[in-house]
Amino acid sequence: MDRYSDRSFAIRGVLLLSGVPPAQLPPLQGALGNILVGAALTLMATSAVEQWKRSRLKKDLAVGIYHELATRVARCCVDFDKPWSEYWKNPVPRSRFTVRKFRPEPATIFDANADKLALFETNQAAALIDFYFRLGVVRRDIDNLSD
């Protein structure tokens, strides 16, 4: 292999510009090459681990939000089935206590992980934000009616 090959030419140039005497170039050139290779391998390994952690976090977050959504939607469906569907036919004034029983619970998993919504696709994050916004509107309206 040529002493002044393309790979070593850049390393030799950096060492000469930094003031290293030409007699010390060969040992430093090998050490600097090893350092650069080690740094590149470290960056690649760190990047791979971070990608794996992000995909794992996305899956875990999706499971948690799915279960929170399922409980909120199930409660809305059950509440509408009985007694709210009867109220559409025969509107009757309800007490504050009765109205407050149907107030949605605040979102816990969504609120605690709102900063991680960027892990999801844009349309998925938008649908989640839209649902929880509307749920908040229902909660606010029930609070306003029952005060």
User: What's the distance, Cα to Cα, between the start and end of the chain in Å?
Assistant: 86
Indicate the pLDDT class of residue 131, thresholds 50, 70 and 90. Answer: very high
3-state SS class at 8 = helix
DSSP state of 103: P
When the pLDDT of each residue in the chain is averaged and rounded to a whole number, the result is 82
**What is the residue whose two structure tokens read 């991680």?**
116
Give the model confidence (pLDDT) of 66-84 as tens digits: 999 998 888 877 777 777 7
Q: Tell whether the model's pLDDT for residue 20 goes beyond 70.
A: no
Cα(77)–Cα(87) distance, integer angstroms: 15
Decide: pTM greater than 0.85: no
Judged against a pLDDT cut of 90, whether residue 145 lies above it is answered with: no
**Residues 41-71, buried b or exposed e (16+ Cβ, 10 A)?**
eeeeeeeeeeeeeeeeeeeebeeebeebbee
What pLDDT is attached to residue 5? Answer: 55
Tokens representing 81 are 């089935």
Q: Read off the pLDDT of residues 29-76 as tens digits, 9 standing for 90 and up.
A: 667 677 777 888 899 999 999 999 999 999 999 999 999 999 888 887
Cα–Cα nearest to 134, from 76, 54, 78, 50: 76
pLDDT of residue 24: 64
pLDDT given for residue 62 in this prediction: 93
C-beta neighbour count of 135 within 10 angstroms: 19
Exposed, middle or buried: residue 142 (CB in 10 Å: 0-12, 13-18, 19+)?
middle
